[in-house]
């Protein structure tokens, strides 16, 4: 394959035929515009986009467009997106249009992918098969550095593998990274001395593109063993800068806040799938792809498909750890793992810190729910002699 093949769902507007609508899309993103032009030299023709097919689907159609590879500047992801996901969303000949997925030829994948990925992170944590359990410090914002570190300690002694900042916490004055990070790391050391278990802490280093590498490097100097980026708000270029910087030798946890503005409408916008492909290529070691039972539940086929693009063989890259998060609690673990498999990370914020006996008990309950699943025992059964799980199921149920 030497071209870029992209697929879109769409509905034409008014009396535009489906074929005309698909052609309008291919023209707009390559060499055409709304009318014939006198400057369209003969030699430009080899960059024309072409419509491969148009197939009825639901209330609309799915089309596959082939874009010649030479339309793209190798390695320039913002430019890739301006082609495959650019002006087309506003074309008036299309009522709705959703970018579903794309495939790139080798020549346009000069990226190395995750530095660690699933095997690297598992090696750090000494796990082989079981899902990892993570927590998000809650409340999202407001805790002091000391209280943040105290909550992290509780989560660590309760048995989580990963602790992360929330997407809106970066370097505000009530909890600056300079103070928060060393305090959290010191508490995680203390917990390690007690449990023998090293916990990762993803400090959120999201900031403007020209400062993100510097911020990440400073975090590593301060002792960070993982970093986190809000990829949609910071931009793919910011993730690429982190992924390609050889000095950044810690895993990158990728949050996708704002993605739903693009992914939520099933008829218009951008599906998670192409975004997941890009995150893996650009070096994301872990990526949120959603839950099937949580507070922002998604269709199981969507999430399993997104997780597949993170983990299947692709360009010799390491697989990215899928993260299931948002409204999870111990009672939902069984459904998540039964649907999505166990090579993943389960995260709970409210579902750990909301436990009636506190954060450490909440973390224990999440781990017990995972242990129950791995042992093939229903959570309610396992809870009979696991008190923290019993309390969690009593509060939140298993729905």
Question: Known catalytic residue: 218?
Answer: no
Q: Which of 115, 132, 138, 187 is catalytic?
A: 138
Work out which of 327, 341, 358, 371 binds ligand CAP, going by CB under 6 A.
327
Of 145 and 326, CB closest to Mg ion? 326
Give me the residue label for tokens 């500047």: 73
Minimum distance of ligand CAP from residue 336's CB (angstroms): 12
Which one of ligand CAP, Mg ion, none is in contact with 290 (Cβ closer than 5 to 8 A by kind)?
ligand CAP
Site for ligand CAP in 336-355 (CB under 6 A): 348-351
Task: Characterize 40-50 residue by residue with b for buried, 16 or more Cβ atoms within 10 angstroms of its Cβ, and e for exposed.
Answer: eeeeeeeebbe
Of 243 and 294, CB closest to ligand CAP? 294
325 binds ligand CAP (CB under 6 A): yes
Minimum distance of ligand CAP from residue 229's CB (angstroms): 13
Site for Mg ion in 117-176 (CB under 5 A): 166-167
- Show the tokens assigned to 89: 């969303």
Give me the residue label for tokens 């002699």: 385
C-beta of residue 321 within 8 angstroms of C-beta of residue 132: yes
131 binds ligand CAP (CB under 6 A): no
CA distance 344 to 366: 14
Dihedral sign (CA 189, 190, 191, 194): positive
Of 26 and 184, CB closest to ligand CAP? 184
Residue nearest to ligand CAP (CB): 349
Minimum distance of ligand CAP from residue 365's CB (angstroms): 14
Question: Known catalytic residue: 255?
Answer: yes
145-158 and 177-195 are packed helices; what angle lies between their axes, rounded to 10 degrees? Answer: 30
334 binds Mg ion (CB under 5 A): no
CA distance 118 to 95: 40
359-374 and 333-340 are packed helices; what angle lies between their axes, rounded to 10 degrees? Answer: 40
Q: Which of 115, 253, 255, 335 is catalytic?
A: 255
Residues serving a catalytic function are 138, 255
């Amino acid at each position: 394959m030497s071209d870029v093949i992209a697929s879109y769902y769409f509905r034409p507007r008014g009396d535009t035929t489906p074929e005309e609508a698909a052609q309008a899309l291919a023209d707009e993103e390559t060499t055409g515009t709304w009318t014939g032009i006198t400057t369209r030299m003969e030699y430009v023709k080899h960059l024309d986009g072409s419509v491969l097919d148009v197939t009825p689907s639901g209330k609309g159609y799915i089309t596959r467009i082939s874009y010649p590879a030479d339309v793209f500047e190798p390695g320039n992801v913002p430019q890739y997106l301006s082609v495959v996901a650019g002006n087309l969303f506003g074309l008036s000949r299309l009522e709705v249009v959703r970018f579903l997925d794309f495939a790139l030829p080798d020549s346009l994948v000069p990226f190395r992918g995750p530095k660690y990925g699933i095997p690297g992170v598992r090696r750090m944590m000494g796990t082989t098969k079981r899902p990892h359990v993570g927590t998000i410090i809650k409340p999202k914002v407001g805790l002091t550095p000391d209280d943040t570190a105290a909550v992290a300690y509780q989560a660590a002694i309760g048995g989580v593998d990963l602790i992360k900042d929330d997407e809106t916490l970066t370097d505000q004055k009530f909890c600056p990274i300079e103070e928060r990070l060393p305090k959290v790391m010191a508490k995680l050391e203390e917990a390690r001395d007690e449990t023998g278990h090293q916990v990762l802490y993803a400090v959120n280093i999201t900031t403007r593109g020209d400062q993100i590498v510097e911020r990440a490097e400073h975090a590593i100097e301060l002792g960070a063993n993982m970093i986190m980026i809000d990829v949609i708000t910071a931009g793919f270029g910011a993730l690429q800068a982190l992924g390609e910087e050889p000095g950044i030798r810690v895993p990158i946890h990728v949050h996708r806040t704002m993605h739903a503005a693009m992914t939520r409408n099933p008829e218009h916008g951008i599906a998670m799938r192409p975004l997941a492909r890009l995150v893996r290529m650009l070096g994301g070691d872990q990526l949120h792809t959603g839950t099937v039972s949580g507070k922002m539940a998604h269709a199981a086929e969507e999430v399993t498909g997104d997780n597949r693009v993170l983990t299947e063989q692709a360009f010799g890259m390491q697989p990215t750890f899928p993260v299931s998060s948002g409204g999870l609690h111990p009672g939902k673990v069984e459904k998540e793992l039964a649907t999505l498999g166990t090579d993943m990370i389960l995260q709970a914020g409210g579902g750990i810190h909301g436990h009636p006996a506190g954060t450490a008990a909440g973390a224990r309950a999440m781990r017990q729910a995972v242990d129950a699943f791995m042992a093939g025992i229903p959570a309610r059964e396992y809870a009979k002699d696991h008190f923290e799980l019993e309390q969690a199921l009593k509060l939140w149920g298993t729905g």
